[in-house]
Structure 1
Amino acid sequence: MRHTLPIAPQFYVTAPQPCPYLEGRMERKLFTALTGENAEALNDTLSKQGFRRSQNVLYRPSCSECSACLSARIDVAAFTPSRSQRRTLRRNAGLLRRVTSPWATEEQYALFRRYLDSRHSDGGMADMDVFEFAAMIEETPVRSRVIEYSDGDTGELVAVCLSDMLDDGVSMVYSFYTPDRPKASLGTHAILDHVELAREAGLPYVYLGYWVPGSPKMGYKANFAGLEVYAQGHWQRMRDPRDYDTELHPLSTDPIAEQVAGITLPGARPAKG
């Protein structure tokens, strides 16, 4: 009887390009393909090591002289909403949550375009057409869901989240919402509701993507209690945001070969430290 050994994923590095978070810097990503029957296990395992999913790719920042980007997650058991977050929940009490399969609709795309035109008109997604949008939503080899939030009175779709169901949490892959309700704090509401979703499912974490000290775009993530960041190879409770270093240094990031050697793959024992 012939036995086929599993093929270890191959890791690659992108060419440097302008950083979308810190002006004047260049970003570089370490990435691997997310395909095959082992995709869910790979997504679960690498998400615990600071990786994020984008369609059929898992990636993690690997900039040559900068280590500012830190993967962030909320420890659900340690989370309590702040006074302003409780106001946000009350303000949006009339919204209805609908969880669906990852299937794109014209209504979602119309909301997505309004969101980009208002908030990120000069971003990397600004020219995304309806087919590319559908690919972002639908091309997923893992257990993903679309969470829609609609006005309970009018039925208007006001916010959408594409989220992955991991073995230890809910990962918010991408979110967008109407620009017509600036006082509603819909982005904050979506995160708060994902904390509730994780609680309902008995999952300990909500993964938020990257927090970047010094970046106004990412600053809101530091406002959530129970926040953990992935730094120096392990998760740690977030300290005062002002304590985190954004200075450039040529030794801030390990060589690519050492980074890849330190990655734990599905079925392997986690690295110590």
Structure 2
Amino acid sequence: MANPTTVSGPKDRQLCRMTETRRTCSYLPEKFAALEYRLIAGATSETCGRLVARGWRRFGISFFRPACEDCTECRSLRVVVDRFRPSKSQRRCIARNLKVGAVLKQPGISREHVQLYNAYHEDMHHRRGWPYRPIETREYFESFVMGAGDFGHEIAYYKDTRLVGIGLVDILPGGISSVYFYHDPAWRHCGPGTFSILREIQLAKTMGIPHLYLGYCIRGNPSMSYKSRFVPHEILDPRTKGHPSPSWRPPA
């Protein structure tokens, strides 16, 4: 068995591995944080799957995970797909979005993508205080198109013919990794974030994929804690991140 903490395979090429200097946490400002990074050119779905199962996240060719000395609040969470049943409020969310169409395709880039991304982030800046800096075409490409290989996809959401949301996902051997989602601020009242996760769960169920990886759940941050509403789910034991068989368990 390949060592999951190293990059293997004929197409993988690790360009560098580093841990950033400790800084103020973006999610919990009273704490300090640091991320460990790996830049991997030509990562395969198998390599990406092994890393995601050990708590890594991917943007472009960059993989990262928390490397904080005094905090383990960023808990990797995955939904157990075949046992998931939507709650009453989640069923209402589905009903509110019956007229929203979804198309699964290779990740793309267009003026429409960039404008929608920037509109979403500007709205979040005003409503939740997120830092705001408009993204340029090249940066969008490097974050969401580059490194996708044959496993990275986007789910484009439409109302009639108007693009209202983009969900980036990695379809991997053992699970689907929900990478990022952004949407038209005018769609906000219909719960698009919840709706996109429900569509990703349905996609995994249709494909016979056992898990949907939602990234980090942080109890003290509303933008990250909502993930715990999708049940049943499992949490990665941070002590087993580098083990050949990482341990995922129901929350205590």
TM-score (norm 2): 0.86
CA contact (8 A) 1:39 1:141 kept: no
Give, as a single letter, the amino acid of the residue that structure 1 aligns with 2:248: W
Which runs of 5 or more residues in structure 2 are unaligned? Answer: 1-8, 241-246
Question: Of 148, 161, 164, which aligns to 2:156?
Answer: 148
Aligned residue pairs: how many? Answer: 232
CA contact (8 A) 2:18 2:36 kept: yes
Q: In the aligned structure 2, how far is the partner of 1:215 from the partner of 1:238?
A: 18
Where does 1:218-237 land on structure 2 (aligned, <5 Å)?
218-231=224-237, 232-233=239-240, 234-237=247-250
Q: In the aligned structure 1, how far is the partner of 2:93 from the partner of 2:32?
A: 36
Deviation at 1:211, TM superposition (A): 0.4
For the pair shown, the structure with the greater C-alpha radius of gyration is 1
Moved over 3 A (4+): 5-11, 120-125
SS at match of 2:147: coil
Question: Of 93, 117, 132, which aligns to 2:139?
Answer: 132
The alpha-carbon distance between structure 1 residues 78 and 129, as it changes in their structure 2 partners (threshold 3 A), is: same
Q: In the aligned structure 1, how far is the partner of 2:182 from the partner of 2:108?
A: 15
Deviation at 1:34, TM superposition (A): 1.8
Where does 1:96-107 land on structure 2 (aligned, <5 Å)?
96-107=101-112
TM-score (norm 1): 0.79
The alpha-carbon distance between structure 1 residues 141 and 109, as it changes in their structure 2 partners (threshold 3 A), is: closer
Report the aligned-residue RMSD.
2.0
The alpha-carbon distance between structure 1 residues 203 and 79, as it changes in their structure 2 partners (threshold 3 A), is: same
SS at match of 1:225: coil
Aligned counterpart, 2:175: 169
Q: In the aligned structure 2, how far is the partner of 1:141 from the partner of 1:92?
A: 28
Give, as a single letter, the amino acid of the residue that structure 1 aligns with 2:181: S
Where does 1:33-72 land on structure 2 (aligned, <5 Å)?
33-36=39-42, 39-72=44-77
Give, as a single letter, the amino acid of the residue that structure 2 aligns with 1:12: M
Give, as a single letter, the amino acid of the residue that structure 2 aligns with 1:126: R
Which structure's residues are more often strand, by fraction? 2
1:183 aligns with 2:189: yes
